[in-house]
Amino acid sequence: MRPQTALVLAALAVVALLGGWYLGPGSEPATAAFAEGRLAFPGLAAGLQHAARVEITHRGKTLTIEKHGPVWGVAERGDYPVRGDKLRRLLESLTELRLTTRLTNDPAQLPQLGLGDPHAAGTDSALLRVLDAAGKPIAALVLGHQKYVGGDQPETIYVRRPGTNQAWVATGGVAADADAGQWLDHDIVDIAPDAIKSVSVTTAGEHLQFTRHGDTLALTEPANAPPLDADKLGDISRALDHLRFADVQMGPTLPGAPAGQAAFTLNDGMVLTVTVNTAKNALWANFAASGGERGAALQKRLHGWAYKLDPWQRDAFVPTLADLKAEKKAASAAAQ
């Protein structure tokens, strides 16, 4: 392992404790002059301790990742926690960025390299800034087009220092995504179908109770219900299996109109209650968990957030009896 990489990994072993780029005694300032063959930010790896804010500006819009206590979150998503692995990769790649070739300093040619104004509409460039708790910039770089050569050849990227027109080729890739969704862990829960003991669904004017019988869920309330579609019952069993969200915002208030509520009781006694709203061809849900250490941990992670799901998932969480009825076979098909 390269010594510089080892320093980064040591500093970032626990993302919750991650600070950022503080250049301590004996390290070179982040504003040191760019030069061929040098790291873009010498001494940066050893100072990854006290950064408090990362900004990525692209086409006039800025994504902000901020540290609140021990947690880094996306400000545009109510400070929802970022993916630790992605943040680690960003920091590591920046510390390893090495300048190799001085290019043009003609501002008219910068857009061809993806190094135009990051605040302008239609630009390919991105401005990456790291600030300390006082809002003082620690490191800043305009990122342009990247090249993925493959094989043993390193990635390269065009860069320039903000406020200057001098373009450079640097070895190393920097994944400074300006899309908030790319920074979030979209997994909500992953509960296997056979771990669900029963499901209680309440919608407007209707209550359905499902209980596991062997490998499937069966409707036990109301009694004497018409035949139900086995595939649709299976969807209820699979509702929590690899469940992911499309978007997230601060809750617990949900957008849209109430669609119902489902309480999933698991074999280990944990209960996960899902409250569902529908809004503009979207499904929004929040989650409440209880029961043992597992339930407490899940409640802590999911409480206070509203998750956007795919619209088709409504029938898996809050189906009505009419939704679940088996379709009658066509007379022609029945006669065959």
> Per-domain residue ranges for the chain?
3-182, 187-324
Per-residue exposure over 141-163, b if at least 16 CB sit within 10 Å of its own CB, e if not = bbbbebeeeeeeeeebbbbbbee
pTM of the model: 0.82
pLDDT, one tens digit per residue, over 269-326 is: 999 999 999 998 899 999 999 999 999 999 999 999 999 999 999 999 999 999 999 8
Cα gap 133→282, rounded to integer Å: 38
Q: What is the pLDDT of residue 32?
A: 59
Burial class (CB in 10 A: 0-12, 13-18, 19+), 135: exposed
**Is the per-residue pLDDT at 135 higher than 70?**
yes
User: SS3 of 244, please?
Assistant: strand
Q: How many CB atoms lie within 10 A of CB 139?
A: 22
End-to-end CA gap in the chain: 69
Q: Which residues contact 147 (CB under 8 A, 6 or more apart)?
A: 155, 156, 157
What CA–CA distances, in Å, run from 320 to 7, 52, 317, 328? 56, 48, 10, 17
In angstroms, how far is CA 311 from the centroid of its own chain?
Answer: 20
Question: Which range is least confidently modeled, 66-80, 146-160, 172-186, 194-208?
Answer: 146-160
Q: What is the pLDDT of residue 330?
A: 38
